[in-house]
Amino acid sequence: MQKLTIGYSTLADRVGTIIAPPVHRDWGVSIVIQNPESIAWRGERLAQLMLREDIEVQELNNLGVAKSRNRNIWLARGEYLVFGDDDIEFDVDGLTKAIAYLDDHPQYSLLLAMARDSAGKIRKRYPKKIEKLTKFNSAKAATYEMIVRVDAIRQLGVWFDEEFGAGAKNYLGDEYIFIVDLLSAGGKAVFVPIVIATHPEESSGSRWGTKEDRVARAAIFTRVFGRGAPLIRLAFGLRRIRELGGIKNLALFVLAR
């Protein structure tokens, strides 16, 4: 059995840009290509990747990153699975340390780690020490920071909500909802300050100020907190009022309009 599967999600017109996954004797790679328009995917880099015996490629005829993440959970042959996009570069030493932590702490079904941007800078403010994840401290999670224990995730019946994430109307929040669903199902998750990946600074979570963004963010809180969502949105919105676009947009955000 493989120790780790690196599960990539990409689009047909981007698959040729995938940064070559690290080669490791105990690791495997699955690449899920979203291709609803049946585009012929090609490229010299892709051709080189296809020669590797450790890489499995599967194509989907629909769109949505959560769909491809879920397929990667099904495809994973490793004890652990880390999620990647076509512009992610993984750190072998960091992944090795994260896997060792999970080996030593079998109570955790998910480990949330850290990432740098392309300039080598830590991408955001992370906790300075190990801490257990809750629905109140995991909203900033990025998929490429997550390593899951595959059998535990499958047994808990936890999947990415396909109504959220890139390619869906609610274009973000799929990672946060996944973690909350895992916790609600009885699983445990932990943040460990280990850098496992490099990712460009821009991301779907950095778009602010539009109605689309406001509605998508409001939907995340409704999904996670149910009837208590307006109070949570108010507390969150007061801290991010500038990004939301002022008092009027704050009110619309709280009322989910």
The model's pLDDT over 42-91, given as tens digits with 9 standing for 90+, comes to 666 666 777 788 999 899 999 999 999 999 999 999 999 999 998 999 99
Residue 45: predicted pLDDT: 65
Superfamily (CATH H level) for 2-204:
Spore Coat Polysaccharide Biosynthesis Protein SpsA; Chain A (3.90.550.10)
pLDDT surpasses 70 at 125: yes
Residue 210: predicted pLDDT: 87
Residue 203: predicted pLDDT: 56
End-to-end Cα separation, the chain, in angstroms: 49
Question: Is the Cα torsion angle 195, 196, 197, 201 positive or negative in sign?
Answer: negative
pLDDT surpasses 80 at 114: yes
pLDDT surpasses 70 at 175: yes
Single out the residue of 159, 187, 188, 191 nearest to residue 175, CA to CA: 159
Residue 39: predicted pLDDT: 83
pLDDT surpasses 60 at 2: yes
Residue 257: predicted pLDDT: 67
Mean pLDDT for the stretch of residues 191-210: 81
Mean pLDDT for the stretch of residues 16-38: 90
Domain edges within the chain: 2-204, 211-254
> Per mean pLDDT, which range of 55-59, 126-130, 136-140 is the poorest?
55-59
Coil, helix or strand at residue 156: helix
CB atoms within 10 A of CB 165: 25
Average pLDDT for the chain? 92
Q: Which two tokens mark 170?
A: 């609610």
pLDDT surpasses 60 at 131: yes
Residue 83: predicted pLDDT: 97
* 172 close to 216: Cβ distance less than 8 angstroms: yes
CA–CA separation, 172 vs 165, rounded Å? 4
**Reported confidence tier of residue 219, pLDDT bands at 50, 70, 90:** very high
Residue 206: predicted pLDDT: 56
User: Cβ neighbours of residue 50 under 8 Å, at least 6 residues apart?
Assistant: 57
Q: Which residue carries 């257990």 as its tokens?
A: 132
pLDDT per position as a tens digit, 141-162: 999 999 999 999 999 999 999 9
Residue 42: predicted pLDDT: 64
Mean pLDDT for the stretch of residues 110-133: 95
Single out the residue of 95, 221, 86 nearest to residue 166, CA to CA: 86
